[in-house]
Structure 1
Amino acid sequence: MTPPPPASADALAQISQALLPSLLAAAASVKALQARWRALHATLLALQSSLAAAPPSAVSHPLFADLLASLLPPLRSLHALSARCHDPALPGGRLRLQSDLDMAASSLALLLHDLSLLLRSGILALDPPPNAIVLQVPAPAASRADKSLFIRDAFARLQIGGLDLKLKALASLLDLLLADASAAEIVATDGDVAALLRLLDASSHSALRDRAAAAVAHLATACAASRKVVFDEGGLGPLLRVLDSASAPATQERAVAAIEAITADVGTAWAVAAYGGVPVLINACRPGSASPVVQALAVSALRNVASIEDVRLALVEEGGLPVLVDLLTSGTSDTHRSAALCIWSLASLGDHDTQYQIVQAGALLPLLQALHTSAALDLHDAVLRAIHALAVVPAAARTLCASPLFFAQLTDLMCRGGSILLQQMAADMVAQLAPGVSDDIRRCMAPCICTLVKMMETAKPATVQEYAGRALLALMTLKSNRKELVRDDKSVTRLLHMLDPRNEEIDKKYPVSVVLALAMGGGNGTRKRLADAGVCQHLQRLAEAEVPGAKKALQRISGNRFKSLLSRGWNN
């Protein structure tokens, strides 16, 4: 083993064998300022115990050596102050003596805290001790014990060393986090995340704050365990302050990335309102206030928390609606989607006044524009949700009903296939708005009739049958659309299958209503086509089961011959 540096060994011997015994004796016997000396006596005893607990190899550790060197000045100062306190004349005066004693005691307490941290970290037990300022970053294949030791060493240097040492410790910690996917969880378990968060304070050096923000952002986005520790240690508040401050763009991006990840967890999203984060996120979304990356992440965070009532109220009160409307036409597709989903949450969960305010803020037209110009299905989903929630406002409904392009888009969304939920929303919009549109618009929607019949066969979710059925009935008011349906053999076959009493997955309400609409206004050709397909057999059994509309539909399709036969059968 390499012999310890003489300076460190000498300092330890001087402290342990000369200064501490002398100070402990003085603290017990001094007459002036006895209360302060009693408190100092406890601190000196704790220091003596901590130094005795340090392993023999500790004197060779660079951090321990620096700490010993830092202990000498306050201990020597206390030794000189003890002599003054023993002098009845109290040289320099009592107040000056009291002030000098408090300063020395404060320095000693801070150094004792650093020593305790070093002992708890376990890095003083390394044999041989490291000579490097910061330990070498362990490879991803290294053992967990090696990674844990490195992390504890980095956090010790982060809290004890000077600026240069702290920056190097943060750099090495970031290297580990970026190179090793498992490191975040070990940092959360074995590191001091609270110490990392303290570096986000505005009083910290800007370089420290930037690197600390990068490390915290990685912990918040890496895994659920490290994200939870960041939140539990109170990380959301400092992150919001970093975002709200005039930080470097890269630092703001890291801070808002961490905020977005924390708000994605339902169990932690509520805290945004508690920390006053809603206006901070709104300001980050304003045009020109931050980079496009910050805007996209900030509106995504707002989307995450918009389902919380306190957040919804704050969003409206803090002037967030015009900002969200602006984001529908600026930034990336992801920004548009998040803004649309945020508006959807506000409209679907808010009251009628909120819905009206969203429409008054001008949200409908950019939503329609996004629906018409984008090819991304996920954006279509978000936009259609928002439009659907706003359609209950009369002014919005009138605008939509007057837009042939909007209904053409709904037709296209249903016909192209893809997400059944997206098709379901489009069908519900048709059912809701079609009664208020012109015959020309309903006629242009004929291409989706076969799709709606097919959707009525879908068992899950159950509401898709209802929405498709209602939409189909709304289009059946037009004779040309009724003819379009019966001309399609597959659609007629599907209706026959849905009417079959043995098919218990399908609610008979809407298939019967569609057949009745065809029979009531489709003409003799339509009724004959349905009869030839075998619809009457199923309708007769449904009529016997007293399914609403089945008897009337059977009468219209079968004519007098079937009507008289059915009448005799029922009388018997």
Structure 2
Amino acid sequence: MPPITAGTLIPPPSTSSSQPLLDLIIQIVSLLLLSSLNVRSFVGRWQVLHSKLSTLHSALLEVSDSPHWSENPLVHTILPSLLSTLQRLKSLSDQCSDSAFSGGKLHMQSDLDMASASLSSQLNDLDLLLRSGVLYQSNALVLSQPVPGSNKDDTEFFIRDLFTRLQIGGVEFKKKALESLVQLLNQDEKSAGLVAKEGNVGYLIHLLDFSSQPSVRELAASAVSVLSTASDESRKRVFEEGGLGSLLRILETGSMHLKEKAAAAVESITIDTENAWAVSAYGGLSVLIEACRSGTPQLQATAVGAIRNVTVVEDIKTSLVEEGAIPVLLQLLVSSPTDTQEKAAMSIAVLASSGEYFRSRIIQERGLQKLLQLIHDSPSFNTIENPLRALSSLAVSDPIARILSSSTLFIMKLGELIKHGSLVLQQIAASLVANLSISDGNKRAIGSCMGSLVKLMEMPKPAGVQEAAVGALASLLIVRSNRKELMRDEKSVMRLMQMLDSKNEVISKTFPLAIVTAVLSGGSNGCRRRLLEAGAHQHLQNLADMNIAGAKKALQRLTGNRLRNIFSRTWRE
């Protein structure tokens, strides 16, 4: 048997009065079954009660036949309250069977309804106990906290026992059951999947209501938070049981500690796009924004993560902005830990790419300045990607494009990213260089990134990276000194020749042809001579013979001026 650990539920010792108490209850039920058939008043209500009593009688006999019922502490909580209900029903039965009864009908009707409701609740508890199977296994085994790697059947049985205690037991039972549940959930993802399958997750979520005792509510929030973040299966179960609405209510009015747990769960649940839309349906957009505005750093990090997840839902974006998300997100860009900054930047990037309305709102809130500040101040390239994406989207606006084009500091940053950034950063930076109207002086200043752009031309993935590299390189080659510098770079020239080779079928010839044409556009004899020495003439001739678009034009530029120079020299002579 696995050892008993912290959080293990310790049952109270069995008492010698258990069996006589159960026998007494069964005897009273038998009497009530007979007397309920002989009542003279409220016959209809007693017919309903007779049906419930009959079900109760069967359940009690099943409990009595269970080998370990007397060891289960929940039975000791149910039987006394059940005896009290039955004694009350016996008194009411006697009154309703008395032909001389002349009491108040409304009062009797109320008493019968209350007793019937109590009986239904206790029947439900007994049914839960019997269905869980906990009465058929020794209490000592059931209550041992499973350790990692425990037998699956034992773990499932333990889970059913925990949820039985949650639903039937009092506050202390619930607290200890929840403590054990949280401990189990924190073991591994497998345990969370078993809890989602075997446990009553809906009841666990019910414990998040404000009517629950505070310590029970906090433990339930911990359990739901772990379930929401542990696995796809458990996260889906929490959402299907209505957990998102309860978590958002906690996020709105709970203690800061509870809010942190709720926000972590909401962030995880909204990872699934089909769940994210429901945040708006529950009125949760303003709740998430307020958590970002005034929460602790931990709360802000998870709340902004949920907003990031929600921004991908097309129908919610406008509402999110109208609720005031943009100024809050921009503030998080410049005054938060790295993880929070990244999530806020991703949200801004998504909104900036969603249309002119969103871009104008970002610009109105000085988003351009804050994005630039984050890019320039960031000590690592890891946090630049999404701010750069946002700037790329904002640059669709001509005024913003002019501002970015005239910023030498920003242009130098783009050159640095093309040389040393990740492939994604290189692509975004190259696209910006290709599309911005950069001055010749700034183009010369970042000319050293041309070798990296040539390398990017060889990259078939991600989609669009070759086009971005060619566009940026063609823009830089407008400057004469950059053309000469590229031709002095042996590795870059060799790469261009390899890409021009008709035997190289991996690279589209459109890309190297565009760059050779750009290099030759200035009429520099030095550049032309360098290309001829590298073997460009033969490659271009082969491509022209194959009728590759652009090859004849590049070949003419490579050879045309040379022929004219020969004719000119002959004429002078």
* TM-score, normalised by the number of residues in structure 1: 0.92
Aligned ranges for residues 129-208 of structure 1 at < 5 Å? 129-130=139-140, 135-208=143-216
Unaligned segments of structure 1, at least 5 residues: 566-572
Listed one character per residue, the Cα deviations across residues 219-259 of structure 1 (whole Å, up to 9, x for unaligned) are 111112211211221211111111111x2322211111111
How far 1:370 moved relative to its partner? 1.2
How far 1:560 moved relative to its partner? 5.8
How far 1:88 moved relative to its partner? 3.9
Query: Partner of 1:343 in structure 2?
Result: 348
**8 Å contact 1:199–1:212 — kept in the other structure?**
yes
Using a 3 Å threshold, how does the CA distance of structure 1 residues 78 and 361 change in structure 2: closer, same or farther?
Answer: same
**8 Å contact 1:8–1:69 — kept in the other structure?**
no
Query: Is structure 2 residue 376 aligned with structure 1 residue 372?
Result: yes
SS at match of 2:521: helix
Query: Partner of 1:333 in structure 2?
Result: 338
How far 1:181 moved relative to its partner? 4.4
**8 Å contact 2:247–2:263 — kept in the other structure?**
yes
Query: Partner of 1:523 in structure 2?
Result: 524
SS at match of 1:80: helix
Unaligned segments of structure 2, at least 5 residues: 1-12, 567-573
Query: Partner of 2:85 in structure 1?
Result: 74
Which whole-Å CA distance do the structure 1 matches of 2:238 and 2:419 have between them?
A: 46
Aligned ranges for residues 34-433 of structure 1 at < 5 Å? 34-54=43-63, 55-127=66-138, 129-130=139-140, 135-245=143-253, 247-286=254-293, 289-348=294-353, 350-417=354-421, 419-433=422-436
SS at match of 2:37: helix
SS at match of 2:36: helix
Which whole-Å CA distance do the structure 2 matches of 1:15 and 1:462 have between them?
A: 75
How far 1:103 moved relative to its partner? 1.3
Using a 3 Å threshold, how does the CA distance of structure 1 residues 4 and 507 change in structure 2: closer, same or farther?
Answer: closer
SS at match of 1:458: coil
**8 Å contact 1:217–1:257 — kept in the other structure?**
yes
Query: Partner of 1:569 in structure 2?
Result: none
Listed one character per residue, the Cα deviations across residues 481-535 of structure 1 (whole Å, up to 9, x for unaligned) are 1111111111111111111122222222232222122212152112111112111
| Matching residue's letter, 2:382 | D
How far 1:118 moved relative to its partner? 0.7
How far 1:29 moved relative to its partner? 2.1
Using a 3 Å threshold, how does the CA distance of structure 1 residues 57 and 489 change in structure 2: closer, same or farther?
Answer: closer
Aligned length, in residue pairs = 552
How far 1:469 moved relative to its partner? 0.5
Listed one character per residue, the Cα deviations across residues 263-316 of structure 1 (whole Å, up to 9, x for unaligned) are 112343332223222222111111xx2111111111111112211112212211
How far 1:547 moved relative to its partner? 3.2
Q: Which has the higher contact order (CA 8 A, sep 6+)?
A: 2
| Matching residue's letter, 2:51 | A
**8 Å contact 2:40–2:98 — kept in the other structure?**
no
Give the counterpart of 1:10 among 14, 20, 37.
20
Using a 3 Å threshold, how does the CA distance of structure 1 residues 156 and 353 change in structure 2: closer, same or farther?
Answer: same
Listed one character per residue, the Cα deviations across residues 174-227 of structure 1 (whole Å, up to 9, x for unaligned) are 122223443211111111111111000111111111110111111111112211
How far 1:166 moved relative to its partner? 1.0
Query: Partner of 2:494 in structure 1?
Result: 493
Query: Is structure 2 residue 483 aligned with structure 1 residue 475?
Result: no
Listed one character per residue, the Cα deviations across residues 435-455 of structure 1 (whole Å, up to 9, x for unaligned) are x22222111111111111111
**8 Å contact 2:67–2:137 — kept in the other structure?**
no
Which whole-Å CA distance do the structure 2 matches of 1:145 and 1:9 have between them?
A: 30
Runs of 4+ more than 4 Å apart: 560-565
How far 1:378 moved relative to its partner? 3.0
Which whole-Å CA distance do the structure 2 matches of 1:283 and 1:366 have between them?
A: 21
**8 Å contact 2:132–2:164 — kept in the other structure?**
yes
Query: Partner of 1:568 in structure 2?
Result: none
Which whole-Å CA distance do the structure 2 matches of 1:376 and 1:562 have between them?
A: 53
Which whole-Å CA distance do the structure 2 matches of 1:462 and 1:331 have between them?
A: 33
**8 Å contact 1:531–1:558 — kept in the other structure?**
no
Using a 3 Å threshold, how does the CA distance of structure 1 residues 130 and 27 change in structure 2: closer, same or farther?
Answer: farther
